Amino acid sequence: MKQATSNTLVSITLAPILALALGCGTGARDTSPVVANVAGQKITQKEFEAIVRALAPKPSDADSLLTDPKLKERRNQWVGSLAEQKALIELAKLEGMDKDIKVRLQAESALAEVYKRAIIEKRTTATAAPEAELHKIYDEAVAKQKAAGNTQPIPPFDAVRAELTQAWQQKQQAQAQERLVTELKQRVPVSYGEGYQPNQMVGN
């Protein structure tokens, strides 16, 4: 595993994953070794490996982090980060913050945003941008530049392929977000009490 990739792995924010992966039982008994114990709550090797594989950019990166003796310290840093965040959650509970309505609202809002990004990513997963779509975006940009009377030289298609791909991805995400609004209304009905019906939802 490359140095840059390893550093990226260690720096990933893990709190939302902890809340889901470590806060809920899987239903099956986990008898794998314990890699950390936080106030009686165990983080098992099976759970740790699942988290690493979920967050690693590539399966080979996860394999290296989990098995390469040279990466033992980085692997231990991962475990330490997981344990520390688990400990912070427990400390917050001891302080009664899990009953603080403001803190609970912030946590729920953050979790909803994580779910939203995950849903949009799931809806827009593609191996590569279709070549025809990239050419369409390029042609539209060229036409727009000419219509605006811009006389600056227009770079060739291949020179801006990366930018075109990014523009296509952003377009897909925007469309997915629009569809998500409709899907929410269809699949998760919401009703309001008298006098509480919003004229327009915030963020729509």
Count of structural domains within the chain: 2
Let me know whether 89 and 177 are in one domain. Answer: no
DSSP string, 167-196: HHHHHHHHHHHHHHHHHHHHHS-----TT-
The answer to whether residues 139 and 89 belong to one domain is: no
pLDDT at 133 over 50: yes
Question: At which residue do the structure tokens 């991805």 appear?
Answer: 169
Q: Looking at 99, 118, 142, which one is the last position of a domain?
A: 99
pLDDT of residue 8: 42
Do 20 and 95 have their domain in common? yes
Q: Are residues 92 and 162 in the same domain?
A: no
Residues paired with 44 in a beta bridge:
34
**111 within domain boundaries:** no
pLDDT in tens, 53-103: 998 888 999 999 999 999 999 999 999 999 999 999 999 999 999 999 999
Q: Which whole-number Å values give the CA distances from 68 to 28, 37, 134, 194, in the listed order?
A: 28, 24, 40, 61
pLDDT digit string, tens, across residues 149-164? 888 888 899 999 999 9
Q: What is the pLDDT of residues 18-56, one digit of tens each?
A: 444 444 445 578 899 999 999 999 999 999 999 999 988
Looking at the domain assignment, is residue 20 inside a domain?
A: yes
Does 109 map to a domain?
Answer: no
Q: Are 173 and 120 in contact (CB under 8 A)?
A: yes
The whole domain housing 20 covers: 3-99
